[in-house]
Amino acid sequence: GNSVTQMEGPVTLSEEAFLTINCTYTATGYPSLFWYVQYPGEGLQLLLKATKADDKGSNKGFEATYRKETTSFHLEKGSVQVSDSAVYFCALRHTGNQFYFGTGTSLTVIP
Amino acid sequence: ETGVTQSPTHLIKTRGQQVTLRCSSQSGHNTVSWYQQALGQGPQFIFQYYREEENGRGNFPPRFSGLQFPNYSSELNVNALELDDSALYLCASSERRRGDNSPLHFGNGTRLTVT
């Protein structure tokens, strides 16, 4: 079946540190891959997406590359800010419109 | 562009009661999906509605039901509430097109507490 496995948190970083949140997936065929971010008390917001192998999604300094050979979609940012503190969810969509989400990784950035 | 709006924002119910949650989809979106997010977990797919019909369902019992209206707004109904139904219920809309990979656009959710 389809599933997403995320790096467990919580993750605590100092401002301007480098961020990596690991995400691997299980799916047949060629799913689309997404990163969503959830701020306290809010719903999920799309951060970036990639729809085919070797695509790189990017937004607000975050990047993730769709790696079919390793079934991964790791999220990276070169220099995090306090405002990046949130929970990050990796997700895939295979057929239809059903999304499969990971359990989320909580990030706290300290000044 | 109007985003996805959900009501109410918070709700407290007693075990065995019934609840209705409401969602207005984003302008231009014709598909609505509902997700349940338990504390500390990722969202779990409940079902999706397209053209006023259920179009896919996750692993949830029949006491979870829904409706989609001609204006694409939607309701989620849960009967015979159980304590484990306590969660954040998220509505998400999208535009369904052939070969499309459009993302979900989420509302801020309804926090349901069952006591």
Position B3 pLDDT exceeds 70: yes
pLDDT band at B38 (very low <50, low <70, confident <90, very high): very high
Shortest Cα distance, chain B CAs vs residue A79, angstroms? 26
Taking residues A69-93, report their average pLDDT. 96
Cβ-contact A88, A36 below 8 angstroms:
yes
Q: Between A29 and B88, whose confidence is greater?
A: B88
Among the partner residues B42, B45, B105, nearest to A104 by beta-carbon distance: B42
Cβ-contact B35, B90 below 8 angstroms:
yes
pLDDT score at B80? 98
Position B2 pLDDT exceeds 80: no
pLDDT score at B100? 58
Q: Between B19 and B40, whose confidence is greater?
A: B19
Taking residues A72-92, report their average pLDDT. 97
Q: Which residue, among B88, B92, B96, has the nearest Cα to B39 in the 3D structure?
A: B88
Task: Write a three-state SS string for chain B.
Answer: CCCCEEECCEEEECCCCCEEEEEECCCCCCEEEEEEECCCCCCEEEEEEECCEEEEECCCCCCEEEEECCCCCEEEEECCCCHHHCEEEEEEEECCCCCCCCCCEECCCEEEEEC
pLDDT tens profile A5-20: 998 889 999 999 999 9
State how far the alpha carbon of B86 is from the alpha carbons of B65, B77, B94, in Å: 16, 14, 26
Q: Which residues of B touch A41 (CB under 8 A)?
A: 108
Q: How far apart are CA B26 and CA B12, in angstroms?
A: 27
Lowest mean pLDDT among A26-35, A88-97, B38-47: A88-97
CB atoms within 10 A of CB A41: 10
Lowest mean pLDDT among A56-65, A102-111, B45-54: B45-54
CB contact B24 to A (< 8 Å): no
pLDDT score at B1? 58
pLDDT band at A48 (very low <50, low <70, confident <90, very high): very high
CB contact A57 to B (< 8 Å): no
pLDDT score at B109? 94
Cβ–Cβ gap B104/A44 under 8 Å: yes
Q: How far apart are CA A35 and CA A50, in angstroms?
A: 9
pLDDT band at B34 (very low <50, low <70, confident <90, very high): very high
Among the partner residues A46, A89, A93, nearest to B42 by beta-carbon distance: A89
pLDDT score at B59? 92
Q: Choose the mutation target among B101, B105, B111 for the interface with A, i.e. most A CBs under 10 Å.
A: B101
Position B31 pLDDT exceeds 80: yes
* Cα atoms in the Cβ-side hemisphere of radius 13 Å centred on A110: 4
Q: How far apart are CA B1 and CA A85, in angstroms?
A: 27
Q: How far apart are CA A104 and CA A107, in angstroms?
A: 10
CB-count exposure of residue B21 (10 Å: 0-12, 13-18, 19+): buried
Taking residues A67-76, report their average pLDDT. 96
Q: Which residues of B touch A102 (CB under 8 A)?
A: 42
pLDDT band at B51 (very low <50, low <70, confident <90, very high): confident
